[in-house]
């Protein structure tokens, strides 16, 4: 088969978004399909794209990225853009708010969405919001990389008495939607640890004697650490903002990978087999209380989630969607 060269514009090659939406899936796609070759341009000059058959832009967000799209178009190359966050609605408490609230950045995101040849997103929420700009918008769900299943080394024996949250500063507002309930739960269940993996939310941990903080680690170490923590419960609250509601089910993938029962806010993205939902802070506290009290068959629920992931949300499945997009775009050249 004729080689296919994809020029991949990835903002930060080693960060978690690239792991799920950039280098991670595309490198595996190239491994599984020898006809695909990847290049990683360091700029947007014509010379960076001339050898390519297709240009891929991961989460582009400023006027220079739109300039790169225009260069690709002038060269007659199809452009594929992927968004995995609602960066038109970044809240003020997010560390990147100052950048994304700039009008030239917002305008660039919209122009990029309108003028690309294929737009992929990670959730139905994002498809509805960004699909108004481009009829060629489709969903590629986030997935567990099959090639890393050997990292799923869950310790033998019972799960730890640990209630786990994983996230960074950009997730603080979502976490605090159940802040009071977490403090209450920690006091009722003093023999359980309430672990925060990725950051220390001091407004909570200052009031929790049994709080535990684990610092950020690189993506591969993240999966190993998740398994080592062997948490009984992983929870993922979401606020009512567009930015929050656009979030994908990665926390469910990661929690289930580590053998933890997942508890998450009730919305379409987090309505999954084996996952327990809540619609309010008080219901969150009630669900966690019941899990700790043994009202649920946790083994069965985790098995249901893992079966669903193995059937639908492995990278070998979702990369077929990526391959279909590549073939469709190149057939139109």
Superfamily of domain 4-143+314-331: Glycogen Phosphorylase B; (3.40.50.2000)
Which tokens go with 253?
Answer: 């993938």
The predicted structure's pLDDT at residue 170: 86
d(CA 286, CA 325) in angstroms, rounded, equals 44
d(CA 302, CA 44) in angstroms, rounded, equals 45
The predicted structure's pLDDT at residue 105: 96
8 Å CB contact between 57 and 68: yes
Nearest to 134 by CA among 145, 148, 120: 120
| Residue given tokens 């919001």 in the structure block | 129
Which tokens go with 198?
Answer: 């990725």
The predicted structure's pLDDT at residue 180: 97
DSSP secondary structure of 250-277: HHHHHHHHTTPEEEEE-SGGG--TT-EE
pTM: 0.96
The predicted structure's pLDDT at residue 265: 97
Nearest to 95 by CA among 201, 165, 171: 171
Nearest to 217 by CA among 160, 162, 155, 166: 166
Query: Cα dist. 204→17, 171, 178, 187, 235 in Å?
Result: 27, 14, 10, 12, 15
Which tokens go with 276?
Answer: 């327990």
| Residue given tokens 């419960």 in the structure block | 233
d(CA 306, CA 258) in angstroms, rounded, equals 10
The predicted structure's pLDDT at residue 169: 87
Q: How many Cβ atoms from other residues are within 10 Å of residue 76's Cβ?
A: 7
Do 4-143+314-331 and 147-312 have matching folds?
Answer: yes
The predicted structure's pLDDT at residue 36: 97
**Tens place of pLDDT for every residue, the chain, 333 residues?**
689 999 999 999 999 999 999 999 999 999 999 999 999 999 999 999 999 999 999 999 989 999 999 999 999 999 999 999 999 999 998 899 999 999 999 999 999 999 999 999 999 999 999 999 999 999 999 999 999 999 999 999 999 999 999 999 888 999 999 999 999 999 999 999 999 999 999 999 999 999 999 999 999 999 999 999 999 999 999 999 999 999 999 999 999 999 999 999 999 999 999 999 999 999 999 999 999 999 999 999 999 999 999 999 999 999 999 999 999 999 986
The CA-based dihedral angle spanning residues 280, 282, 287, 290, taken in that order and rounded to the nearest 10 degrees = -170
The predicted structure's pLDDT at residue 74: 97
The domain spans of the chain are 4-143+314-331, 147-312
The architecture CATH gives domain 147-312:
3-Layer(aba) Sandwich (3.40)
Which tokens go with 231?
Answer: 């948490």
Angle at 86 between CA 99 and CA 121, to 5 degrees: 130
Half-sphere exposure of 221 (CA within 13 A, CB side): 9
8 Å CB contact between 55 and 77: yes
């Amino acid at each position: 088969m004729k080689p296919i060269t994809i020029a991949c514009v990835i903002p930060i090659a080693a960060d978690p978004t690239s792991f799920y939406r950039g280098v991670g899936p595309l490198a595996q796609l190239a491994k599984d399909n020898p006809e695909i070759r990847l290049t990683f341009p360091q700029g947007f000059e014509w010379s960076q794209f001339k050898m390519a058959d297709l240009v891929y832009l991961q989460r582009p967000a400023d006027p220079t990225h739109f300039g790169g799209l225009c260069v690709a178009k002038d060269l007659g190359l199809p452009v594929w853009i992927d968004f995995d966050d609602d960066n038109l609605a970044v809240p003020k408490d997010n560390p990147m708010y100052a950048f994304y609230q700039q009008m030239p950045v917002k305008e660039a995101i919209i122009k990029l969405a309108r003028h690309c040849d294929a737009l992929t997103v990670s959730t139905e929420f994002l498809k509805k919001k960004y699909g108004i700009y481009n009829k060629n918008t489709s969903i590629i769900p986030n997935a567990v990389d099959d090639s890393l299943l050997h990292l799923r080394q869950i310790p033998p024996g019972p799960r730890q008495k640990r209630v786990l949250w994983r996230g960074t500063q950009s997730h603080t507002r979502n976490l605090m939607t159940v802040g009071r309930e977490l403090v209450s739960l920690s006091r009722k269940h003093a023999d359980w640890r309430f672990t925060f993996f990725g950051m220390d939310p001091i407004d909570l941990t200052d009031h929790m004697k049994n709080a535990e903080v684990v610092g950020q680690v690189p993506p591969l170490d993240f999966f190993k650490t998740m398994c080592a923590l062997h948490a009984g419960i992983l929870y993922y609250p979401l606020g009512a903002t567009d930015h929050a509601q656009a979030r994908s089910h990665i926390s469910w993938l990661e929690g289930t990978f580590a053998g933890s029962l997942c508890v998450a806010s009730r919305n379409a993205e987090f309505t999954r087999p084996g996952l327990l939902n809540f619609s309010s802070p008080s219901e969150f506290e009630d669900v966690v209380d019941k899990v700790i009290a043994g009202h649920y068959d946790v083994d069965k629920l985790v098995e249901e989630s893992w079966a669903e992931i193995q059937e639908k949300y492995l990278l070998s499945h979702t990369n077929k969607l990526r391959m279909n997009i590549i073939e469709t775009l190149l057939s139109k050249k």
